[in-house]
Structure 1
Amino acid sequence: GMSLTFEQANLDYARYYAEAFRQAGDTGTADVLDVVYSEEIGHVKHGLVWFERWREPAVTAFEAWRAILQPPLSPARGRGLQFDREGRRRAGLDEDFIRQVEVAGESRGRPPTVRVFNPSCDHRWLHGERHPLPDRARAIEEDLDTIPALLARTDDCVLVRRRPEPAFLHQLARAGCAVPEFVLDGDPLQPPPVPHRHLSGVEPWGWDADAQRRFTPLMERVTETDRPAAGRAAVAEQVNRKSFAVPLLAALLAERADERLSAPSTVGVVCASASDALQALRRRVASMDLPAVVKGDHGASGRTLLRVRSPADLALAQAWIANAFRHQPAVVVEPWLQRCVDLSVVGVVDREGRVASATVTRFLTDARGQYQGAVVGRPWFALPPDVVRFCHGDGSAPRFAAHTLGDAARAAARALHQEGYAGPFGVDALIHRDAGGLRLRPIVEVNARTTMGHVVASLARRLAGGSQGLWLLLRREDIGDPADFARRLTALAPLERAGPAARPCLRSGVLFGNDPASARRVVALMAVGRTPEAILDPLGRAGGDALRERVAALLEPPRPGTHDGL
């Protein structure tokens, strides 16, 4: 541990402080530190010689070194304030070892927060813990398991199925993102093998029964006095229902009485039985209030819903509703709105019911309402002028949309607090058109979990002034081999940074959210530029015109007269 950890770190510290003293005019101290630097190269080399004699040759030098370090020691302790590659090369460390040390992110003393990407919580709330996850959904979950790294601090742990490659971690570090510790988590039936005795918290993407079972042993290590209470899965299952949002929307529309908001008559009806749902649909048919939509109480990304366009669809609706009640406690019947823009406000509700870090984001969906990505930065980017004016109150209330969504977030936070929930949450909203023009629907649904909106809000803080980003989930069928696509795109759009090296801002280029080298089905990335063309052109050149057109279409609101709704 001494030679390859502390004395390796001293290569960085000696060079850094020698330069600092030299710039301050103290050449004597700088000269002494130069001598220390030269001696430390010898010390590291001496330790490396014995380490190579003792270690198992079947594993890499870096993995063998990582395995013998006992917490709180970690590979991150072998790195100082700046990274000196040349000194490490002179000491005999190989290039793979050097690359791994440069991006190693592990706790240096603060108890870490454990994070895990388990978006299948939506599936578990609907079908139960033992229902198998579809193969495609499982593959996507595995591909994207590094996403929580974009929310993490350096001291945190992210659970993954495969350890990311150094090249992926290097681009995170170069973008100014924290590089946390990645802990291999291969057995879903066992508690995660987190090596730390004390933790600051445990934050799965969402709390379901599976997460509570696996993470309960880890909760015992949480050092904070308000460690998570038992029963979080049951609370999350209750507040993540579509029906939870219905009375919140009704109350907010009644309180605001603003014609720029959705009409109170568009608020959905919560139906606790198949007969109630059919009656609600028949009332809409009788009043010619169609199209309508029936939503299952649980579901995500446009799944578990049925659109009813005409009276002829009632027979299909009756069978669909009967089947839905085999799995769902309720359904919601409401009008199918002519969607224009999808918005969300994300934040954290604390244990007093207050909202922290509320941020408005704009997310992008396909024609079926399935999530495709989001705008990073100003949510009004590339919107038609009439929509931008509407969001800013047509000049009379410059923050009309933002203030209204802030009110929605606070209303949701109070309701979540009353149900016993604390933690990350998001409120989906939308702008839609009706005969009177544009309308803001401030609450579509409440997500009591981490969402991609939280990731987008975190990424937005890394943008340079004047730059915008698109956060995209790109499928293999649209880009071909993920690793080849990533190489082409990186060559066309390398990261360009602004600001100090310690906290750079991104001016242009591409940042990957998961490792393209191991992705099987989907690649997550943020493309950055100052104009839509600057973002779209490299995507088209790397992935083809069809990809460029598909992404460009996501930015365009549906044309008036087309029904593309919730």
Structure 2
Amino acid sequence: MKLHIFNPEHDLALAAHLRQFTAPHAGRQLRSDLAFIPALWADQGDLVLVDDIDNARDKVRHLGEHLVEKVEFITKLQLEHLLKTEFIDCVHPWGWDLSLKGELERIGLPEIMLPTDEVLDKVRAISSRQWAAEHLQQDVVLADNFALVKECVMKWGKAVVKAPWSSSGRGVKYVSADEFRTNGEYPAFQRWVSNIIFRQGGVTVEPYYNKVKDFGMEFEMLDGKVHYLGLSLFDTVKNAYTGNLLCSEEEKVEIMKKYISEVALLSARQKIIDIVEPALKENYNGPFGVDMMIAAKDGQLELVSCVELNLRRTMGHVALELAKITKPQSLMRVDFDGNRYHLRVLPGKEAVNES
């Protein structure tokens, strides 16, 4: 029996690196509203931690009636009582961080079931954009002062500046040399960069790419080996995730062939495995994903083989599971209606399933 936890505030918790961390309201709301999601990949009889059991059962029913009885939804209070009499084999969160470990310690999970602080430090380090810049990316500059950031921007004309740890759509700034020429030292941007450097030790600066298509590859690290799970074809708006295409792996490969050869995709996949596997071997078991893009340069399309390394489960992993139980060529979206977040499956523009 495994315990599954959806903690989407994970990236922010990595940045804070505190045993007691309170996520912003939006992060707490997302966790509460979509806490049922692990039912998609959990095994029969597993536990899924939620705030409201009835609400979770109602939401997951929209995705598949069989999911309702597959798992047992459990609240923190119920889990605390359960741990006094029963044993849980292992914990499978969305992502491991010090804040989640502290939360589970307070609930009463024994120390032997949780990663050590030393392991979590290593996971945090590999989760940093600095690690990806040093191991998986090209032409990325690590800057610990504003002068170097400005130098890169003026040299490239346009650049993307990122905090080492941040959640999707946050901690990322697009800046151009024209903005420096117009705004002088560009004080608002300088304050942002200086604040990130003060809190996180530096920023990454990379050339701006003329993006044509977002996509990613999803993996799982298991017993010292990286296993490839599939492609993730997704959309973003202002660097924030908006949705995933749900279809077979063969269909996704055919779509990508419009932009890149299958051989190039296989080569990019193997490169990731060769680099990431030895780094994770002693430190991490679980899912991870690498975001990529196809960009246009000098009239040609090129592969940017790593935009982000997400050392956690991703919405691409969710899409891979949903694709197994939905109609082909559907779209998975996470929408906010002003009050709650919803996981929706849309065929074209009309919703058929909603939770």
> What corresponds to 1:549 in structure 2?
none
Counterpart AA for 1:526: V
> What corresponds to 2:207 in structure 1?
335
Counterpart AA for 1:184: T
Q: 1:328 to 1:144 in 2, by over 3 A?
A: same
Distance 2:353 2:273 in 1: 42
Report percent identity of matched pairs.
24
Kindly state the Cα deviation for residue 347 of structure 1 after the two structures are TM-superposed: 1.7
Count of residue pairs the alignment pairs up: 344
Please point out which of 333, 342, 348 is paired with 1:536. Answer: 348
Residue 125 of structure 2 aligns to a residue in which SS? helix
The structure that has the greater radius of gyration is 1
Whether the 8 Å contact between 1:184 and 1:193 is mirrored in structure 2 is no
2:251 is equivalent to residue 361 of structure 1: no
Q: 1:376-435 CA distances to partner (integer Å, 9 max, x unpaired)?
A: 1247969998x64223x2xxxxx2353134224303432532672232111111111111
2:41 is equivalent to residue 151 of structure 1: yes
Distance 1:377 1:177 in 2: 23
Whether the 8 Å contact between 1:345 and 1:359 is mirrored in structure 2 is yes
Counterpart AA for 2:120: A
Distance 2:242 2:126 in 1: 24
Kindly state the Cα deviation for residue 307 of structure 1 after the two structures are TM-superposed: 1.4
> What corresponds to 1:476 in structure 2?
337
Q: 1:197-223 CA distances to partner (integer Å, 9 max, x unpaired)?
A: 22221111111112112335535576x
2:130 is equivalent to residue 243 of structure 1: yes
Q: 1:322 to 1:405 in 2, by over 3 A?
A: same
Q: 1:289-346 CA distances to partner (integer Å, 9 max, x unpaired)?
A: 2211111101121211221122335423322211112321221011111112211111
2:190 is equivalent to residue 323 of structure 1: no
Kindly state the Cα deviation for residue 371 of structure 1 after the two structures are TM-superposed: 1.0
TM-score normalized by structure 2? Answer: 0.85
Kindly state the Cα deviation for residue 243 of structure 1 after the two structures are TM-superposed: 0.9
Distance 1:418 1:270 in 2: 26
Please point out which of 526, 536, 550 is paired with 2:345. Answer: 526
Please point out which of 311, 324, 338 is paired with 1:448. Answer: 311
Whether the 8 Å contact between 1:346 and 1:409 is mirrored in structure 2 is no
2:120 is equivalent to residue 282 of structure 1: no
Higher relative contact order (CA 8 A, sep 6+): 2
Q: 1:140 to 1:431 in 2, by over 3 A?
A: same
Tell me which protein shows more strand as a share of its residues: 2
Distance 1:350 1:384 in 2: 28
Distance 1:154 1:382 in 2: 29
Distance 1:473 1:115 in 2: 20
Distance 1:339 1:417 in 2: 30
Alignment of 1:118-137 (within 5 A): 118-129=7-18, 130-137=20-27
> What corresponds to 1:179 in structure 2?
70
Residue 431 of structure 1 aligns to a residue in which SS? strand
> How well do the aligned residues superpose, as a CA RMSD in angstroms?
3.0
Q: 1:252-281 CA distances to partner (integer Å, 9 max, x unpaired)?
A: xxxxxxxxxxxx5xx21112x224xx2243
Alignment of 1:256-267 (within 5 A): 264=138, 267=139
Counterpart AA for 1:351: D
Distance 1:215 1:230 in 2: 13
Residue 345 of structure 2 aligns to a residue in which SS? strand
TM-score normalized by structure 1? Answer: 0.55
> What corresponds to 1:72 in structure 2?
none
> What corresponds to 2:88 in structure 1?
199
Whether the 8 Å contact between 1:153 and 1:178 is mirrored in structure 2 is no
Counterpart AA for 2:348: L
> What corresponds to 1:429 in structure 2?
292
Q: Which runs of 5+ in 1 are unaligned?
A: 1-111, 251-263, 394-398, 478-519, 528-534, 544-566
Whether the 8 Å contact between 1:149 and 1:179 is mirrored in structure 2 is yes
> What corresponds to 1:38 in structure 2?
none
Please point out which of 169, 173, 190 is paired with 1:306. Answer: 173
Residue 145 of structure 1 aligns to a residue in which SS? coil
Tell me which protein shows more helix as a share of its residues: 1
Counterpart AA for 1:538: E
Q: 1:296 to 1:379 in 2, by over 3 A?
A: farther
